[in-house]
Amino acid sequence: MSADLEFYFDFSSPYGYFASLRVDRVAEAAGRQTVWKPFLLGVVFKDTGARPLAQVPLKGPYSIHDWHRLARYQGCPWVLPDPFPIPTQAAARAFYWLESTDAELAKRFARACYHAYFGEGRSIMAPQAVADVGASLGIAPDDLLDAVAASGWKDKLKEETEAAIRRGVFGSPFFFVDGEGFWGSDRLDMVAEWLARGGW
């Protein structure tokens, strides 16, 4: 089996959402597997001094316009949610809990969370909201709520976020293939070409 395409994202990142709808096709076309890696962008921003996009002068209005334009471009559901951005600990912890026993279910859950938030505008901040998303996939809500509150999954998310920073992740989405990092949903075409050509 070929090496993986690692996909780092924050559940509150619109560009992460847009990438999530394409990343598995990009990997499959090259015979690769994806590994999804939610992390907490807010923790990364403390290191880099960055602020949430929508709050940055000039860049904020541009980004909001760009998200609408990208949604039309990709032909995918899109709502600018309110509140936005949100803390995403609950969804990310639930993801790693699910992934420990079923990586494919964890990806389906991640897609459903992204769809709820950016496709339908439903907040996924509260653990109960995340449990509702999980329930739609047959995941027992009480088990998910227990996992979200458990120190083990808190620690796992903390470790994954710290590992992301150690690897140089500073934004969402961020991809790694063959040890090469690529930042931004814009770069998925270049990632595809990297995979097809084996680098350059």
Question: Contact positions toward a second copy, by CB under 8 A?
Answer: 44, 47-51, 56-59, 61-62, 65-66, 69, 72-73, 165, 168-171, 180-181, 183-184, 186-187, 189-190, 200
Scanning 32-172, the segments in alpha helix (DSSP H) are 41-48, 59-74, 89-99, 103-114, 127-135, 141-149, 151-166
CB of 133 to a second copy, least distance (A): 30
Nearer to a second copy, 31 or 197 (CB): 197
Nearer to a second copy, 31 or 72 (CB): 72
* Secondary structure class of 148 (helix, strand, coil): helix
CB of 1 to a second copy, least distance (A): 26
Task: Please give the order of strands across the beta sheet that includes 34-38.
Answer: 34-38, 5-9, 174-177, 180-183
CB of 50 to a second copy, least distance (A): 8
* Secondary structure class of 7 (helix, strand, coil): strand
Nearer to a second copy, 11 or 175 (CB): 175
Distance CA 41, CA 34 (A): 20
Nearer to a second copy, 72 or 101 (CB): 72
Nearer to a second copy, 66 or 132 (CB): 66
CB of 9 to a second copy, least distance (A): 16
Distance CA 188, CA 27 (A): 10
Nearer to a second copy, 38 or 171 (CB): 171
For 114, 166, 176, the CA distances from 191, given in Å and listed in that order, are 22, 21, 9
Sign of CA dihedral 57, 61, 62, 67: positive
CB of 198 to a second copy, least distance (A): 13
Distance CA 151, CA 147 (A): 8
CB of 184 to a second copy, least distance (A): 7
